[in-house]
Structure 1
């Protein structure tokens, strides 16, 4: 029996392609009877158990997949009972605010109780001191158990997390940087050990977790800097490389290793240079032959190629589709270059005002998301619509004339394959890596020189004209089809070779 451990930062259906790929890998390998599959969630998620239950009920996560939260692993006395919260409200004046409540003590605002609008459960309770200054939040899971205290500083941002067991006893404290919101240091009160950096914390705790399993094999799927692992150079690859030698280690890249502008194979991001020169990983895997070739031409390292499975069902051409509708499926992230999509639609608005774009995806409520929304507003664009997250991608594609991808870089953009499988041509910049493997320019979409927004807009208009002539009706036959059985066999062969 081997235990396959797949760390991710958070788990939810509404997440980007990386989490989707991790869940896909977990589901695929869970079909192998000799493998135990564990998804290891690194960050705190108070509703994680509920998320797992919902995903399994919806068939999005295989029943055989176990999910462990690193923070909750340290909880010596977890509670599984539903609790009715009791708040001392006798001396307070309660004022209803929608489904929420505000509490006053002789006219002074002292407490706010947030209630889930769907199920009526308490999500959190905020406490205030004189001057409406928040100093403490109590957070509750979906069973009504208190799980965490969040302390706030003078800037109304978190300065400390205190995680508590069923007896409200703190088992873990984490210091938070008030300016950057990054996790800085931690104390595990079970052992009395203080960690002066989150890298050391995660190395220690993940080591403890994996030693509970037989023949552990652990994946590293992402290399980005995280707020809960903020130290320079100490990303997930670094942490996994420092685990005990009996743990087999696989780094599986799902993004580019190149520096911006992502087109020079010799200009490698430092974190990936460290990875390729690191001898602690048993295997390094990428998604395309092109990326393998670029890495091996610079580094003395053998690289494996295992793509994501993409055996999407081929769908009939929808004769009732709106050929004026362009669809974009993406996160609002710097590398996705949603700003270029806006510039393209600005050009389109002057050339063909009937064309419009529906954007499906989500952002992170950060400065970039604000900039994207402001840009559309500043341009007074009527042809760019934010539609939010959808789990019905195929249904939305079927209604669309074409799809677009404006990223600076990708690794293996499944949205292109989903589009073509629905007989919807895709227009993309010719970037590293993936689009060139999927799009046959002129046959099932178009590849455009990177950052050429005028050329991109022209191809959108050309695509519409060809749709009007009845072209692109059977492009699903050109889709890149990689069966899940083939991918599963590749992963099993690799794992068994360790």
Structure 2
């Protein structure tokens, strides 16, 4: 039995003396989330981060700050967009590096007293940044502007690195960083408040600067949202995903490393050896007031995924086509999402009856109340949030059994269907099987799916985070004090 399934059983009948049963709340202090950006068409990782931040803010009754670093992000527009969507509420605040730098007063910019103004380009019509490239299209310089049009910072490309210079409102050169990592470190040190602080790093791009953060009473936890092994790896010692090498390299530099499934934790520890600061905490989901028994067309399928190589939405469309052929039914497949493979998926959809591409739709999960089943055909996963979103609405998942997540979430034939990785015919066969089940069997599966999703509610997941933070603070205190890091039992 997986650890997450054991957790479900414990949550159904909690021990009266346990911290979960006692309504354990997060430790008092400052809570911070770290991500690279918040794109307009964000997917599961960003959605999970935003939801966790809102849950933390509600639990602590204090703000949770979300730090972003993408130089192309319009932070003001992102705040407006997220607030309107109900994603940036309940005490969550978005703080952006480049917007912050642009607001610094001139006296904080490190300008030498005898520095002379230089002539700099100004912004065009509210421009936030301007990228300058060479004849080959390679970035050579980026200017970041203030609302008044003056440049606040200048990035220059030096080989594979960046040199950043601040500029005051008179055009005088100020402080200079010889690497972007130095800038990140100084900004983080400037804005993080004193006292107990709990930082959760969601972005794999930000592993390096936060792994080296060394501040008193500050915990740094890294959440791994995807597989650390390459797709197709056959054992825990297989090749690492390029984007996860930093995770393994800096594993012991974090006070806590949080994985979404027990299977991934087991594989990681098989590779690196025992670690007591590697935990399992799943993402939480909302539980909409939806009756799982509500009528819906049995042949209505859905996909919510980025149109990318990793998500393999073309497999879902191909499976739908084969299911139509096998059953002779007028099935429907609604695809919500956008991405680099959009043209390919569109071309395939034009030749496949019943497929509709909707592009990126905010809160697309709400559409799952009208769908009978969800297709998920990814190469790899962490713990797909869309599974919980579907199951909470009585929409049955039909999903490739890949590393990691699906098998920790779905019990085959009980609350959904697991299909061998890459088996398009197998997906079509499960759609056919669902169509042929009697109404009572389908009703039982939809109710079971809802019960599964209930175990990933905010309060249960926040209680897990509380345990992780307490153990991590003991580790952080010992690290800063220069003593031995205590061995603690993992709440996972």
TM-score of the aligned structures, taking structure 1 as reference length? 0.74
Aligned residue among 393, 414, 421 for 1:422: 393
CA distances 1:371-415 after superposition (whole Å, capped 9, x unpaired): 3334444xx223322112233445422222221110111111122
Aligned residue among 137, 140, 144 for 1:163: 144
CA distances 1:300-357 after superposition (whole Å, capped 9, x unpaired): 2222111112352362246542222211111112221112223323433433352231
How far apart in 1 are the matches of 2:73 and 2:41? Answer: 16
Runs of 5+ unmatched residues, structure 1: 79-135, 224-234
Bigger Cα displacement from structure 2, 425-434 vs 165-174:
165-174
Equivalent pairs counted in the alignment come to 415
CA distances 1:256-293 after superposition (whole Å, capped 9, x unpaired): 11122144222252654543453221111111122222
Q: Decide whether the 8 Å contact of 2:401 with 2:418 is kept in 1.
A: yes
- Cα 1:314–1:65 change in 2 (3 A) is closer
| Between structures 1 and 2, the one with greater strand share | 1
Aligned to 2:110: none
Question: Equivalent residues in 2 for 1:12-411 (5 A)?
Answer: 14-33=41-60, 36-44=63-71, 47-56=74-83, 58-76=85-103, 138=123, 145-151=126-132, 153-154=134-135, 159-175=140-156, 184-190=161-167, 192-195=174-177, 197-210=179-192, 212-223=193-204, 235-246=205-216, 247-269=218-240, 272=244, 274-278=246-250, 279-300=252-273, 301-302=275-276, 303-310=278-285, 312-313=287-288, 315-317=290-292, 320-351=295-326, 352=328, 354-363=330-339, 366=340, 368-377=341-350, 380-411=351-382
Runs of 5+ unmatched residues, structure 2: 1-27, 106-120, 168-172, 474-492
CA distances 1:432-481 after superposition (whole Å, capped 9, x unpaired): 222112222122221111111112211111212226x5531243432322
Aligned residue among 37, 43, 59 for 1:10: 37
Shift in Å, 1:255: 1.0
CA distances 1:230-264 after superposition (whole Å, capped 9, x unpaired): xxxxx311121122343421111111111221442
Q: What's the C-alpha RMSD, in Å, of the aligned pairs?
A: 3.1
Aligned to 2:6: none
How far apart in 2 are the matches of 1:46 and 1:439? Answer: 36
Shift in Å, 1:206: 2.8
Shift in Å, 1:23: 0.8
Q: Decide whether the 8 Å contact of 2:312 with 2:379 is kept in 1.
A: yes
Matched residue SS, 1:19: helix
- Cα 1:448–1:58 change in 2 (3 A) is closer
How far apart in 1 are the matches of 2:83 and 2:463? Answer: 24
Matched residue SS, 1:359: strand
Shift in Å, 1:22: 1.0
Matched residue SS, 1:462: helix
